[in-house]
Amino acid sequence: MDNTQYVSLSRQLVLQKELDVVANNIANADTAGFKVESVMVGTDAQTPKSAPGARPILFVYDNGLARDFSQGALKATGGTYDMGLRGDGFFQVQSAGGTRYTRDGRFTLNAQGQIVTAAGDPVLGDGGSPITIDPNKGPAVIGADGTVTQGAQIAGKIGVVRFASLTALQKDGGGYYQNVSNTGSQPAPDTKIEQGMVESSNVNSITQISRLIEVSRAYEQISNMMTQTGSIEDESIQRLGKVN
């Protein structure tokens, strides 16, 4: 396999990854709190060892995922404990693996009266503890600052935090993110909570479908080019054999 084939193969591997990412974006277009992702492409210049003074060859590689955390549209659900965030903050959740962060505000009450996620994990208050609702004290009202009240009594306050850099967050499944950095989170007082609302995915389906077609065509073009290059090489070898 010559250098042309190697370079083409490196590009094809990145396109395959991008196909998977774009398909995942489309599949999550209706997933609450989902953030659209894209592949970051890097290049690696390598000089053939057999020709030290030759021009470097640029290979392509997958340099990880970029995630767009821009605001998704808020959709009314009417659910008492559904909450949509308006701003750059995150809800704090106590999962089996530790504290996690999410933008998916589809919350309910469990049998103990705790506000929990769709997975049943408690949503944490600003003090780091779950918030418990007493059904005998009337309906809960959740203010824009996260304060949960029942009548004249305060049941707690939803903890909403932000990060100095969103690169601190790593996807952890189920709409959760894990803080993988050495820096902690900070309160996000200017992020507002909308009760009875849920943040939609920020995926633009039309844009993603167009991108899927574009990447598919690029993948096919490279496949055809590799096939043609291989055929030319085979034909050249056969002709040389006949001459000899």
The per-residue pLDDT for range 161-199, each reduced to its tens digit, is 999 999 999 999 999 999 999 888 999 999 999 999 999
Tokens 């769709």, residue located: 118
Question: Which pTM does this prediction carry?
Answer: 0.83
Q: Are residues 81 and 190 in the same domain?
A: yes
15 contacts 216 by C-beta, under 8 angstroms: no
Q: Are residues 150 and 95 in the same domain?
A: yes
* Strand partners of residue 187: 161
Q: Are residues 78 and 194 in the same domain?
A: yes
Q: How far apart are CA 33 and CA 93, in angstroms?
A: 14
Q: How far apart are CA 89 and CA 65, in angstroms?
A: 21
Q: Which of 204, 232, 212, 238 is nearest to 34 (CA)?
A: 204
Q: Are residues 111 and 64 in the same domain?
A: no
Distances (CA, A) of 43 to 49, 60, 159: 18, 5, 42
Q: Are residues 92 and 193 in the same domain?
A: yes
Q: Does residue 52 have a pLDDT over 70?
A: no
Q: Which of 210, 228, 199, 169 is nearest to 25 (CA)?
A: 210
Res. 53 pLDDT band, cuts 50 70 90: low
Q: Are residues 100 and 188 in the same domain?
A: yes
What domain range is 132 assigned to?
A: 74-199
If one counts the domains in the chain, the total is: 2
Q: Are residues 97 and 174 in the same domain?
A: yes
Mean pLDDT for the chain?
89
Helices H / strands E in the chain, number of each: 2, 17
28 contacts 17 by C-beta, under 8 angstroms: no
Q: Are residues 42 and 10 in the same domain?
A: yes
Question: 3-state DSSP call for residue 213?
Answer: helix
Res. 145 pLDDT band, cuts 50 70 90: very high
Angle subtended at Cα 31 by Cα 199 and Cα 26, rounded to the nearest 5 degrees? 125
